[in-house]
Structure 1
Amino acid sequence: VCYWLILLAVTWLLTRPHSRRAFAFLGAGMVLLCSPGLYQAFVPGPVVSLTVLDTGMSQAVMLRTASGRTVLIDGGGSWNLDYDIGRALVGPALSYGHPPRVDVVLLSHIDADHVRGLHYILKKFSVGWFGWTGLVDTTQETTRLLETLARTKPHIRSVRAGERIDLDTDLYLEALYPPPQLTGISENNTSLVLRLVYKEKGLAMLPGDAERPALSRIAALPQDIQAELLVAAHHGSVSSLEPSFLQRVAPRQVVAACSKDNRFGFPHPRVRDYVATLGANLWTTGEHGAVRCQWDAHGALRITTARSAH
């Protein structure tokens, strides 16, 4: 409204060509009209944003880069088969202001609360490629996933430790777990564990539902695994409280994907206490809604939530 009023005022002043004051107001008005464009030209947007969606007692994480590339890591899921969380929540979040396309869809493991929301995305969105560990189990979730993949026919990649997924210049995801030689079934401790890196600085760690056995192996890796942000393993379960892992990651911000007052008590009180001893802030989707984390070109992090801004 203010800009329309300024535009009307400038138009009126143009009818008074011999007034110096008119030209002064005209100049000021033009500056105000152009200021949004000037701001965008000289103050670049975030290099990458990571949003932990509010999917209740499940997990879905969306990445969007400065060039517009979109990555979905897990799709959330409801135990109510009549509720399609992909259609109701994840899909709209991905396509808000953007075409219905996801460059990369990644699945940490085949649990209902991570995989069920992906069916709608795979069926209704244009998907660049689908990545997972390739490990399966004998559950209905695996059967449904394989049927959806057979029907939608995305390009499929096996992603294991040592793989690197380039996103933009100096920005990539690196897989830390599971190792290529690991066999068995898809379960919490075979979750795909990813680290988001920009200019060799660890931005975020995404361990899926990995628990102490897997996290202790990751903590023993020789390379740097530090990350400013940690998406809490297994929604903040005490079974994923591995001090050696947390000490090496050394997060300043921790986000737990879980519903408020959930029956599991996540994040577990011991997890909350340990995060506090690290001096890190704890966010939960149940308390704060979707949590958006944005890094600028200098690596500075800004966090906003659906229910409040910080």
Structure 2
Amino acid sequence: INIKQKVIREILMLVSLLLVFYFKPYYSIEGKVTMIDVGQGDCFLIQQPFNQGNILIDTGGLKNKDIASLTLVPYLKSQGINRLDYVFISHNDFDHCGAYDSLVKQIKIKQTITSYQEKIKIGDIEIEMLKSGMKTKDNNDNSLIIKATINNLVYLFTGDISSKVEHKLIENYPNLKVDVLKVSHHGSVTGTSSEFLEAVRPKIALISCGKNNRYGHPNKSVLERLEDYDVKVYRSDLTGMVKIIYYGDDNYIYP
């Protein structure tokens, strides 16, 4: 009898623990913006409080590894996420979307967006895509440019755009100011111009790139420009995953 009672207690404890993990996203009072470390690529997760919506901007992608199975899916499930409400793909470079095919087989995706949408409201988050007005065959310069207002902070996700597109942006949106800048093209010398930094004045820069990558990202001149404008830089190749956690009116960054 004692053995049976002990087994029942342990089963009940296990079931209770599983229920806590399952329902955790629904009673979480904090939101998160996470730069997921996918090596040489981009992948950003936005989690809203109380499971109001989970958004992924790009999926990353490595030719020699299934980054979805190795990194994305385990992390999403550790956060209690079994469904993504939106996945935005900035452009079709493999390091931005290569993991999508594997991800969609393992995680339910409600909607995938690969083209311009003017404005979208997801829970308490306002997403606006910005237009450069440029006509180009350059895949990088055709990246979706996503402005997201999250807990009173303005984030700008710039894909792989070059300084030519940055110039057009500040012409089209002269009052554009951001708090958090996703540095374009993993910190390549092709973007993040002084003109752009002078206009948008970010406080924080997020650079997603692989450790000791063969492209030399982020470029030294880009890092120097960010330092000149007193921008605090967080790099996935040095710190791994970076989280900006928000609660109430406060925002906290954890490298």
- TM-score under structure 1 normalisation? 0.68
Structure 1 residues 115-124 or 283-292, which shifts more? 115-124
The one of the two structures with greater contact order (alpha-carbon pairs below 8 A, sep at least 6) is 2
After TM superposition, the structure 1 = structure 2 runs for residues 16-55 of structure 1, keeping only pairs within 5 Å, are 45-46=29-30, 48-55=31-38
Alignment match, 2:244: 293
Distance 1:185 1:87, change over 3 A: farther
| Structure 2: tracts of 5 or more residues without a match | 1-27
What is the DSSP-based 3-state SS (H/G/I as helix, E as strand, rest coil) of the residue aligned with 2:223? helix
Alpha-carbon distance in structure 2 between the residues aligned to 1:249 and 1:202: 13
Q: Using the TM superposition, give the Cα deviation of residue 293 of structure 1 relative to its aligned residue in structure 2, in angstroms.
A: 1.1
Contact 2:132 2:168 in 1 (8 A): no
Alpha-carbon distance in structure 1 between the residues aligned to 2:58 and 2:173: 27
- TM-score under structure 2 normalisation? 0.82
Alignment match, 1:60: 43
Contact 1:177 1:190 in 2 (8 A): no
Alpha-carbon distance in structure 2 between the residues aligned to 1:240 and 1:184: 16
Contact 2:87 2:112 in 1 (8 A): yes
What is the DSSP-based 3-state SS (H/G/I as helix, E as strand, rest coil) of the residue aligned with 1:165? strand
Alpha-carbon distance in structure 1 between the residues aligned to 2:198 and 2:153: 14
Distance 1:59 1:222, change over 3 A: closer
Q: Using the TM superposition, give the Cα deviation of residue 131 of structure 1 relative to its aligned residue in structure 2, in angstroms.
A: 0.3
Alignment match, 2:71: 89
Q: Using the TM superposition, give the Cα deviation of residue 301 of structure 1 relative to its aligned residue in structure 2, in angstroms.
A: 2.5
Contact 2:127 2:149 in 1 (8 A): yes
Contact 2:160 2:184 in 1 (8 A): yes
Distance 1:94 1:280, change over 3 A: same
1:53-111 Cα offsets, whole Å, 9 max, x none, are 1111111111111131100110001122xx21111111222222314200001100000
Alpha-carbon distance in structure 2 between the residues aligned to 1:263 and 1:302: 32
Q: Using the TM superposition, give the Cα deviation of residue 178 of structure 1 relative to its aligned residue in structure 2, in angstroms.
A: 5.2
- The correspondence for 2:189, drawn from 206, 231, 238, is 238
Contact 1:58 1:113 in 2 (8 A): yes
Query: Does 2:129 align with 1:175?
Result: yes
Moved over 6 A (4+): none
Contact 1:74 1:114 in 2 (8 A): yes
Q: Using the TM superposition, give the Cα deviation of residue 263 of structure 1 relative to its aligned residue in structure 2, in angstroms.
A: 2.0
Alpha-carbon distance in structure 2 between the residues aligned to 1:253 and 1:130: 28
- C-alpha RMSD over aligned residues: 1.9
Alignment match, 1:249: 200
Q: Using the TM superposition, give the Cα deviation of residue 126 of structure 1 relative to its aligned residue in structure 2, in angstroms.
A: 1.4
1:118-152 Cα offsets, whole Å, 9 max, x none, are 1122222211111012xxxxxxxxxxxxxxxxxxx
Alpha-carbon distance in structure 1 between the residues aligned to 2:99 and 2:58: 8
- Whichever residue aligns with residue 66 of structure 1, its letter is P
Distance 1:248 1:297, change over 3 A: farther
Alpha-carbon distance in structure 1 between the residues aligned to 2:192 and 2:44: 21
Alignment match, 1:9: none
Contact 2:132 2:169 in 1 (8 A): no
Alpha-carbon distance in structure 2 between the residues aligned to 1:54 and 1:212: 25
| Structure 1: tracts of 5 or more residues without a match | 1-43, 134-158, 306-310
What is the DSSP-based 3-state SS (H/G/I as helix, E as strand, rest coil) of the residue aligned with 2:190? helix
